[in-house]
Amino acid sequence: MARLPFLRRVALKTLPLRPGSSRALLLLLLRRPLSDVADDDPPFCPKPPGRAPRPRKEPAGSSPAGDPDRPVGPDLPFDFRYSYSETSAAVEPIGFREPRRFSPFGPGRIDRTWTGTSAPARVAPDPEKATGERERALGVPLSEEEVAELVERYRHSDCNRQINLGKGGVTHNMLDDIHNHWKRAEAVRIKCLGVPTLDMDNVCFHLEDKSGGKIIYHNINILLLYRGRHYDPKQKPIIPLMLWKPYAPIYPKLVKNVAEGLTFEETKEMRNRGLTSPPLMKLTRNGVYVNVVEKVREAFKTEEVVRLDCKYVGTSDCKLIGVKLRDLVPCVPILFKDEQIILWRGKRDTESTSTSHALP
């Protein structure tokens, strides 16, 4: 009703007034009652009878029963973390860089509480049940011929079923990518680069444990993750995605002013010796570090202090590498300066050597 005066004004201003002209025809049309033209107006036509509306497809990880107010209940039997292979639940942070009330999964999307580092499961996981479901999906182990066929199909660099694993390690959203590839392929190729390659066994463990698959091929930094004989894509677990990467919490200081077991002068001398010594290795950014741990262990048999040149790696990756080497070698990082890592082997080696010489 409100449109008619406006249309009359437009017609009177824009169209010429001549007998039989378009302006006269439009004025005659506008003078007709709405009841006569209601059936011919397309925007107000009723829908044809007998045609049911199409059901709306709910996205993966949405709320059950289509209720947006009800949070989703994931069926994965472990605590949600941003990275499973590069973080440890044994080390407690001393502070947070963002409020813990802001969950990276979004408000009200999961029925778990975000603690700042993880979203713990409400029910304690049952290891036997999880192991039984994984073995049921894997089925009978593959024969050597079947493994060779899968490896030949997916191991090449031009494989379109590939996931790149970077310094974040095995992340939470990567699990959803793996299951999406498993919908159309029996295995997925995973190329690992950066800090996680220091400990490939840890990467393989978390890939198998969190996805339910099995590593059937491991060559340096290339992995093939097999889904199993009885894997059903329709029974894919509900994996709510993280909407953003949470800020890393604040952990205790990695390098102390005085190394444990040394005095201040001895610590200063060790640092100067390390800076003036030739570098054991030169690391590159997003490189493959699978042999770094063994080389550092071999160097500590003859040297007390080792220097790693990380000029092109970056400051953040330098500290991550130092933390990994501290636990894997093991050793004591005593200095991070100008993208150089100085490692001290500690006093345990000298003490054990002196003890062995004292025994008869």
187 forms bridges with which residues in the sheet? Answer: 226
CB 167 within 8 A of CB 320: yes
Instruction: Give the CB-side neighbour count of residue 219, counting CA atoms within 13 A.
Output: 9
For residue 28, CA distances in Å to 21, 34, 222 come to 11, 13, 77
Among the ranges given (22-26, 182-186, 219-223, 283-287), the one the predictor scored with the smallest mean pLDDT:
22-26
The whole-angstrom separation of Cα 40 and Cα 138 is 62
The pLDDT score that the predictor gives to residue 121 is 87
Comparing 346 with 51, the larger pLDDT belongs to 346
- Band (pLDDT 50/70/90 cuts) for residue 130 is confident
DSSP state of 34: H
56 band by pLDDT with thresholds 50, 70 and 90: low
Please determine, for residue 189, whether its predicted confidence score (pLDDT) is greater than 90. yes
Q: Which residues pair with 165 in a beta bridge?
A: 192
Task: Give the residue carrying structure tokens 């449109």.
Answer: 3
pLDDT, position 30: 62
Structure confidence at residue 356 (pLDDT): 41
pLDDT per residue over 201-227, tens digit each?
Answer: 999 999 999 999 999 999 999 999 999
Both structure tokens of 46: 């009723």
CA dist., res. 73 & res. 63, Å (int): 8
**Stretch 31-56: mean pLDDT:** 54
Element (H, E) at 7: helix 3-14
In this prediction, residues 269-274 reach a mean pLDDT of: 94
On the question of pLDDT at 181 being above 50, the answer is yes
Q: What is the mean pLDDT of the segment spanning 152-177?
A: 92
143: which 2 tokens?
A: 């024969």
Q: How confident is the model at residue 26 (pLDDT cuts 50, 70, 90)?
A: low
Residue percentage of the chain with pLDDT more than 70: 76
